[in-house]
Amino acid sequence: MAKTIIPIGPYHPLQEEAEFFQLHVEGEKVVGIDVSIGYNHRGIEKISESLTFDQVPYLVERVCGICSTSHPLAYVQAVEEIGGIQVPERALYLRTIIAEMERLHSHLLWAGLAGHFLGYNTVWMWAWKYREPVLDVLEAVTGNRQNYAFMKVGGIRRDFEKEDIFRIDQILDELKPKIDLLTGAVMDDPVLHARVKGVGILKPEDAYSFGAVGPTARASGIKIDVRRDEPYAAYDRVEWDVITDPAGDVFARVKVRLLELYESVKIIRQCLRDLPGGEISARVKEIPPGEGIGRVEAPRGECFHYVCSDGTNRPVRHKIRAPSYVNVPTCQVTVPGETISDATIILASVDPCYSCTERMQVVDKEKGTTLSGKDLVRLSQEKTALLIKGGHR
Amino acid sequence: MSITLKALQKSPWVFHLNTGACNNCDIEILNCLTPKFDLERFGVKLVGSIRHADCLLVTGPVTRKAAPRLKTLYEQAPRPCLVVACGTCAISGGIFKDGYNICGPVDKIVPVDAYIPGCPPKPEAYILGIVKLLEKLGQ
């Protein structure tokens, strides 16, 4: 059979960046995949060199909307390393709380999208409904639903009031049974098992060689987590577990993310309990010449920032490496060999900034047939429906 | 009033295009469709192709690679096509305005009918923007 190339993307309404995948298919089977990115290149590193150290957090917050805590946090850690700045204890705890709240809403968001791809639109709607209270409380404590403007070199910008702590506590109480429900539904659903178990397997050695990070690596049984390996903020002062799963398939990635929700809740609770008083920000006079790095475990994996200072008030070099940059190429080994209807969920399972199913197009030059993104989602959803009919229930 | 405009008022189908946004505006658009905000009660539906859409929601400061795509999409859209610039970046370029890879803002590339400000605009702002646009169409 002639080889057909299916372009996926670059535009799609569901997730972060515009990415362009080309699936090489023979019939239903995917035999190769190419990734082309760069639609979202805004020259952030260069713009950063024209801003002062205090202005950069505003910019890096806008690297990615969902990781709008992780990027500024990694950046301020890098600058604090250059200046040898001691951050007050209270600020460290509050940073941890906000970072974990971000993980909560990010993982819920992903769970919803994964549900949508598999034909469970109810999961999408419900997971995003559960996510709303988290955003509400973030708005209450930081002032904005996203882009919290919370991090600052030397500390944080806003202190928590007493009622904020109650509010967060209350939200966590309400969220827990909902996570239970979601996790229970995923673990027990036979159709879901049939659909994602054993699909898109990323072997540990492949995860190593691609340098995969975050939940993608942890779902392949690799126990890496910056929060544990190189603790920042208050992570070394709280008890929690690194969730791993040896299976490496899509199901494992779902499971790791859902179980991480519990760990986040655990971390936030401990931070609220042990929250010390005192200052929220250290006085920073000037940034001496030097280099510093900041590493943060973003919801998608390790986020790395390198900042170089020459003693002036702005960085001379600022390098950013986001987790998706290493996670997305793993599709080179996970997608080939699977069917087109599975490609969607496998690509989405690394939680890249991808979910462009709405703008996929299949172009077969010889036959002149066209398949739109909708058709691909339909294919994926029909497969689930078929499994339900096939008596797996 | 032409029948197309009248129909459009009842159910504006929207297509969403990210021209290099940080994703927040895009997620808030999706958020508008979820149970808490439920933009679908105004007949608003997110569609997968510009050829089905009445309304083009553009987010992001328009990167060099995205600009030709934005133009093509606008040309492909059936008329009348309303263009809405969502978020600070789409309106003015925001913090990325001076970036070397930015061609934007959106109104430099295609004509814009409505602006929804905010970084990112809250879902309430989106709802207000869409409702205002529909009201204006009725006049």
In chain B, residues with a C-beta closer than 8 Å to the C-beta of A62 are 22, 24, 94-96, 119
pLDDT over 70 (residue A221): yes
Cβ distance of A374 and B48 shorter than 8 Å: yes
Structural domain of A167? 89-289
Please give the C-alpha separations between residue A81 and each of A26, A150, B50, in angstroms, as whole numbers: 52, 19, 48
Q: What is the pLDDT of residue A357?
A: 26
pLDDT over 80 (residue A371): no
Please give the C-alpha separations between residue A134 and each of A65, A108, A113, A164, A235, in angstroms, as whole numbers: 15, 10, 17, 12, 21
Cβ distance of B63 and A146 shorter than 8 Å: no
**What is the three-state SS of A13-71?**
CCCCCCCEEEEEEECCEEEEEEEECCCCCCCHHHHHHCCCCCCHHHHHCCCCCCCCCHH
Q: What is the pLDDT of residue A125?
A: 87
Please state, for a pLDDT cut of 90, what percent of chain A lies above it: 19
Confidence tier at A96 by pLDDT (50, 70, 90): very high
User: Mean pLDDT, to the nearest integer, of A286-301?
Assistant: 90
Which amino acid is residue A13, in one-letter code? Answer: P
Q: Is residue A227 part of a domain?
A: yes
Q: What is the pLDDT of residue A91?
A: 92
Q: What is the pLDDT of residue A372?
A: 53
Q: Is residue A17 part of a domain?
A: no
Q: What is the pLDDT of residue A15?
A: 47
ipTM given for this complex: 0.87
Cβ distance of B16 and A13 shorter than 8 Å: yes
Shortest CA distance from A131: residue in chain B? B31
Mean confidence (pLDDT) of chain A: 82
Cβ distance of A11 and B18 shorter than 8 Å: yes
pLDDT over 60 (residue A360): no
Question: Who has greater pLDDT, A354 or A125?
Answer: A125
Q: How does DSSP assign A86-122, residue by residue?
A: PPPHHHHHHHHHHHHHHHHHHHHHHHHHHHHHTT-HH
Across A85-99, A136-150, A339-353, B125-139, least confident range: A339-353
Q: Is residue A36 part of a domain?
A: no
Confidence tier at A40 by pLDDT (50, 70, 90): confident
Cβ distance of B101 and A66 shorter than 8 Å: no
Q: Does B45 touch chain A (CB under 8 A)?
A: no
pTM as predicted: 0.86
CA-based nearest distance B23→chain A, Å: 5
In chain A, beta strands by DSSP E? 4-8, 20-26, 29-36, 151-152, 155-156, 290-298, 301-309, 315-321, 361-363, 370-372
User: Which CATH number fits the domain that encloses residue A157?
Assistant: 1.10.645.10
* Ordered domains of chain B (ranges, CATH): 3-138 (3.40.50.12280)
pLDDT over 50 (residue A365): no
Q: Does B68 touch chain A (CB under 8 A)?
A: no
User: Mean pLDDT, to the nearest integer, of A8-13?
Assistant: 56
| Residue B68: partners with Cβ closer than 8 Å, 6 or more residues away | none
Choose among A11, A16, A125: nearest Cβ to B17.
Answer: A11
Q: Is residue A197 part of a domain?
A: yes
Contact A207, A217 (CB under 8 A): yes
Q: pLDDT means per 10 residues in chain B (139 residues)?
A: 74 84 83 85 81 86 84 86 89 86 86 89 89 81
A353 phi, psi to nearest 5 deg: -95, 70
In chain A, residues with a C-beta closer than 8 Å to the C-beta of B29 are 13
Q: What is the pLDDT of residue B119?
A: 85
Cβ distance of A39 and B95 shorter than 8 Å: no
Choose among B25, B48, B99: nearest Cβ to A46.
Answer: B99
Q: Is residue A8 part of a domain?
A: no
In chain B, residues with a C-beta closer than 8 Å to the C-beta of A43 are 96, 99-102
Q: Is residue A29 part of a domain?
A: no
Q: What is the pLDDT of residue A263?
A: 92
Q: Is residue A354 part of a domain?
A: no
Q: Is residue A42 part of a domain?
A: no
In chain A, residues with a C-beta closer than 8 Å to the C-beta of B31 are 128, 132
Choose among A39, A124, A357: nearest Cβ to B65.
Answer: A39
User: Mean pLDDT, to the nearest integer, of A43-50?
Assistant: 86
Q: What is the pLDDT of residue A374?
A: 59
Would you tell me how many other CB atoms lie within 10 Å of the CB of residue B3?
7
Q: Does B66 touch chain A (CB under 8 A)?
A: yes
CA-based nearest distance A299→chain B, Å: 15
Count of domains observed in chain A = 1
Contact B122, B112 (CB under 8 A): no
Q: For A241-260, write each residue's pLDDT tens digit.
A: 999 999 888 889 888 999 99
Q: What is the pLDDT of residue A266?
A: 92
User: Mean pLDDT, to the nearest integer, of A225-236?
Assistant: 89
